[in-house]
Structure formats: C-alpha cells, structure tokens
Amino acid sequence: MAEEGIPGRIVIVGTGLIGTSIALAMRERGAEVLLSDRDAGALGMAVELGAGERLPDGPLDEPADLAVLAVPPAAVAVTLLDAQKRGLAAVYTDVASVKALPLAQAAELGCDLTSYVAGHPLAGRERSGPAAAQGDLFLGRPWALCPTDQARPEAIQAVTALAEACGAVPVTVEAAEHDRAVALVSHGPHVVSAAVAARLTAADETSLGLAGQGVRDVTRIAASDPRLWIGILSANAEPVADVLEGVATDLAVAASLLRDGSEGAAAHVADLLLRGNAGRARIPGKHGGDQKAYAVVPVMIPDRPGELAMIFQAAGIAGVNIEDVSIEHSPGRPLGVLEISVRPEAADKLAEELRARGWSVPG
Ligand SMILES: NC(=O)c1ccc[n+]([C@@H]2O[C@H](COP(=O)([O-])OP(=O)(O)OC[C@H]3O[C@@H](n4cnc5c(N)ncnc54)[C@H](O)[C@@H]3O)[C@@H](O)[C@H]2O)c1
Ligand SMILES: O=C(O)C(=O)C[C@]1(C(=O)O)C=C[C@@H](O)C=C1
C-alpha cells in the first residue's frame, strides 16, 4: 500500500540509471511501479532488481497516477506523445537534463500540455543503466520542475509529490532559465572534466602512475556515457558554449601568465585561484539528508588469484553485508587496496574478522 499523498501507481518508461532509481525509491514508499524500456535487457534487469513489474503491452485497466519518462532528451517528446495516446497515466513528467527543447518539441507534436510537467532531478552518476541505480540517489538533491502556463494544478501537485517522495527538494523554474543554470553548474563542468581527462589519453605510464585523488575528483564525470551527453550538450548548445568560452578565456590567460613567469604574473594567476575558492564556497550544501553513509574498511590485498573471493567469504562468515567495493591498484606493485563499504555499525566487526584471518586492515 502506497504512503498517503504520493502517487500510488506509477509507470516508468526508460529503466536506465534514473528511471530505475526513481522506481526503487517509489517502491520503498509502497507505490505500485510498472516498467517499460525498448531494451529488453535493461527492462529485465530493473524487474530483477525489484524496481517493479513489466508494463503490459495492451491498455491498462485504469490509467496510472503518473508516468515518468526517463529516456534521453531527444526521445522525450515522442515518448510523451506515445504514452498519452496509450492513456498510460493521468499526469506525465520527464527527467531530461535539458528542458526548453523537449518542451518545444512536445508542443510541436501536439502533446497534451495540461497533464505534463517537465522535470529534472539534479542527481546522477557517471554510470548508465539499471545496474547503477540507487533508491537513495535523490535524497536532499534539487529536482527542477518547469510547468508551462497550461499545466493543471493537479499535474504540478503530482510531480511535486513524486520529487518529495524520492527525498528531493522541488525547485520551480522556467525552462530557459533552467537550461542556462544547468549549463553553468552541470553541462559546462562536464565538458571541462572531459577535456582534462582527454589529456590523459596520451599520458605515459610514469604520469599515470603518479595520479592521485585530485585528478580522480576532477575527472569522475568524464567516465559518463558519451551518447547520452552529446544529446544533452547539443540540446543546450548556446548556454553551454557561453560557459565554455568563459572558462577557455580564464585558461588562456592563466597559461600566458605562467609562461611570463614574473611575480606580477603569478599574482594574477593567484587571483584566478582565489576566484576559484570563492566560487566553490558559493555552492550550497545539500538541502536535506545525506545518501546512506557507509563506513569504508580498507584491506591490503596481495595480487593473487582467489584473494577477493576469500575476503568476501570472510565477510559472509562475520555476517557483514558488503554494500560496495572498489579496488585501488598501484601499477607495478604486488599489493592493492580493497575498499569495502559496509554499514557503520558493521565496520569494526569486519575489520576484526579480516585481521584474525591474516589480512592487513590499516587504521
Ligand atoms: N545520468 C545522469 O546523471 C542523469 C541525471 C539526471 C537526469 N538525467 C536524464 O535522465 C534521462 C535518462 O538518463 P539515464 O542516465 O537514466 O540514461 P540510461 O542510458 O541509463 O537510461 C536510458 C534508458 O532509456 C531507454 N530508452 C531510450 N529511448 C527509449 C525509448 N524511446 N523508449 C523506451 N526506452 C528508451 C534506454 O534503453 C535506456 O534503458 C536522460 O534524459 C538524462 O538527461 C540523467
Ligand atoms: O554526479 C553525476 O555523476 C552527474 O552527472 C550528475 C548531474 C550533475 O551534473 O550534477 C549530471 C547531469 C544530470 O542532468 C544531473 C546531475
């Protein structure tokens, strides 16, 4: 039974990262979720993850409260038209990272704009597909809503309730203003991250071997799906180009000042760094609660076959559920660091079990 005040029956079209994350969040609130994707593999995996049931091919016995279109920006308007023709839901929303173009396309195709409220959760990951989905992805994050003048109040209310039920903070903003804003805080930074990461394609082994956390932080989002992102960037081309030109100017000036080498030049470069400090400080903290915080147990692992399996088995024997793992390799070294994320209350137990079995667990 769905909690009161939330859309109780939802259709999700597009069971990738965002669609499946919304589905998981809404399932946790007791909603009935019907899933659809043109990719049978993505759909099957979302169902297996417990995100919901398959949407039947034929008509529904009664329309769902809400349909969420979690498809790439270029597919939003056609998907909306199709969903409305099928009468899938009383209210429709999407999650695309750009808003003005899909809205214009929806109007051009003759979609019903009274039941449609465009949306965009400002939360995501550098990985695509249902396997990367997380039910707590949206906790405390802004969720932009861009209702047109034609949107019915009940439609706005239903989409607001979806965002809130996912733990996000709804922010109403006009579509063109949204697109300029995300060019600055999301799309521009994405290209800058890609440009920094692209320098590494020609890097030699010595340089790569010296990579620390700084370059990993700056390039995390450069690992994202280029097909999705070219669609986002080209649908928001002018605002993104404006941001990139500003960044390019700062970089060109910094390069020429560094070559100059004088004290005065260094002071000018320092000015860019200070502006960087000031800009970074202006990014607000998240509005609400944090995503689940896990404790990380680091384990030094010898580069030997079967080592990971034995560690996972030891965690199982200790009764500790592993939430996530990552491996830090030091190129050319016989040891790596396995970082095991577990619930904070389980961290000591796991560390003790692993130490007792001979592994080195620093800290
Ligand atoms: N990735 C992020 O960080 C992020 C964050 C917020 C919003 N968004 C937006 O969310 C949307 C989905 O992105 P994602 O990261 O989940 O991508 P994804 O690639 O993980 O998932 C997209 C899914 O849509 C399906 N799809 C594509 N066209 C379809 C169609 N016509 N009908 C049915 N299914 C279709 C694909 O098969 C895929 O399973 C995009 O519009 C994106 O701009 C992405
Ligand atoms: O954190 C990430 O990996 C993201 O890509 C998230 C991010 C962002 O730039 O904040 C990217 C695009 C989306 O439209 C919304 C969120």
pLDDT in tens, 120-131: 999 999 999 999
In the chain, the amino acid numbered 118 is A
Find out whether the beta carbon of 12 lies less than 6 Å from any atom of ligand 2: no
Q: Does ligand 2 come within 6 angstroms of the Cβ of 125?
A: yes
**Rounded to an integer, what distance in angstroms lies between the CA atom of residue 348 and that of residue 109?**
58
Distance from the alpha carbon of residue 121 to the mean position of ligand 2, in angstroms? 9
Confirm or reject: Cβ of 225 under 6 Å from ligand 2: no
Q: What is the pLDDT of residue 160?
A: 98
Q: Which of 284, 278, 297 is nearest to 345 (CA)?
A: 297
* Rounded distance from Cα 324 to ligand 2 centre (Å): 20
Query: Do 9-173 and 179-281 have matching folds?
Result: no
With a 6 Å cutoff on the Cβ, whether 96 touches ligand 2 is no
CATH 3.40.980.10 is right for the domain spanning 295-356: no
- Give the model confidence (pLDDT) of 317-339 as tens digits: 999 999 888 887 655 566 778 88
CATH code given to domain 179-281: 1.10.3660.10
- Answer yes or no: are the C-beta atoms of 311 and 162 closer than 8 Å: no
The third-level CATH classification (topology) of the domain covering 9-173 is Rossmann fold (3.40.50)
Question: What's the 125 CA to ligand 2 centre distance in angstroms?
Answer: 6
Q: Which residue in the block uniquely carries the two structure tokens 């960037």?
A: 233
Amino acid identity, residue 238?
A: E
CA of 127 to the centre of ligand 1 (A): 11
Calculate what percentage of the chain has a pLDDT beyond 70: 96
What is the rounded distance in angstroms from the CA atom of residue 44 to the CA atom of residue 161?
27
Q: Is the pTM of this model over 0.90?
A: no
| Nearest-CA residue for atom 4 of ligand 2 | 124
Which is the closest atom of ligand 1 to the Cα of 15?
Answer: 39
- CB–CB of 175/140 below 8 Å? no
Task: Name the closest-CA residue to atom 5, ligand 1.
Answer: 124
* Cβ atoms of residues 143 and 120 within 8 Å: yes
Query: What one-character-per-residue DSSP string does 228-256 give?
Result: HHHHHHHHTHHHHHHHHHHHHHHHHHHHH
- Nearest-5° angle of CA 70, CA 118, CA 71? 15
pLDDT tens-digit series, residues 79-94: 999 999 999 999 999 9
Task: State whether the beta carbon of 128 lies less than 6 angstroms from ligand 1.
Answer: yes
Query: Residue ranges of the domains in the chain?
Result: 9-173, 179-281, 295-356
Could you count the other beta carbons within 10 Å of the beta carbon of residue 170? 17
- Taking each helix axis as running N to C, give the angle between helix 307-317 and helix 347-356, from 0 to 180 degrees, rounded to the nearest 10: 120
List of residues 6+ apart from 356 with CB closer than 8 A: none
For the chain, what is the mean pLDDT? 93
Q: Return the ligand 2 atom nearest residue 221 CA.
A: 3
Residue by residue, pLDDT tens for the chain (363 residues) are 778 888 999 999 999 999 999 999 999 999 999 999 999 999 999 999 999 999 999 888 999 999 999 999 999 999 999 999 999 999 999 999 999 999 999 999 999 999 999 999 999 999 999 999 999 999 999 999 999 999 999 999 999 999 999 999 999 999 999 999 999 999 999 999 999 999 999 999 999 999 999 999 999 999 999 999 999 999 999 999 999 999 999 999 999 999 998 888 999 999 999 999 999 999 987 654 445 678 889 888 887 888 899 999 999 999 999 988 888 765 556 677 888 999 889 999 999 999 999 998 887
User: What is the spatial distance between Cα 314 and Cα 64, in angstroms, rounded to a whole number?
Assistant: 46
DSSP calls for 64-78: EEEEEE-S-GGGHHH
Query: Is the minimum distance from the CB of 19 to ligand 2 under 6 angstroms?
Result: no
| 233 alpha carbon – ligand 1 mean position (Å) | 14
Does 39 contact ligand 1 (Cβ within 6 A)? yes
264: enclosing H helix or E strand: helix 263-281
Ligand having the closest approach to the CA of 283: 2
Neighbours of 361 (CB within 10 A): 17
CA-closest candidate to residue 72, choices 108, 50, 102, 48: 102
Question: 317 C-alpha vs ligand 2 centroid, how far in Å?
Answer: 38
**Residue 329 bridge partners (DSSP):** 336
Residue 241 sits at the vertex; the CA angle it makes with 100 and 217, to the nearest 5 degrees, is 100
Q: Is the CB of 132 under 6 A from ligand 2?
A: no
Atom of ligand 2 nearest to the CA of 187: 9
User: Which ligand is nearest to the Cα of residue 220, counting in written order?
Assistant: 2
Q: Give per-residue burial for 328-359: e unless 16+ CB within 10 Å, then b.
A: eeeeeeeebebebbbeeebbeebbebbeeeeb
User: Which ligand number lies closest to the CA of residue 228?
Assistant: 1
For residue 96, which ligand has an atom nearest its CA? 1
In the numeric block, which tokens belong to residue 314? 């030891």
* Single-letter residue type at 107: A
Evaluated on CA atoms 209, 210, 212, 215, the torsion sign reads negative
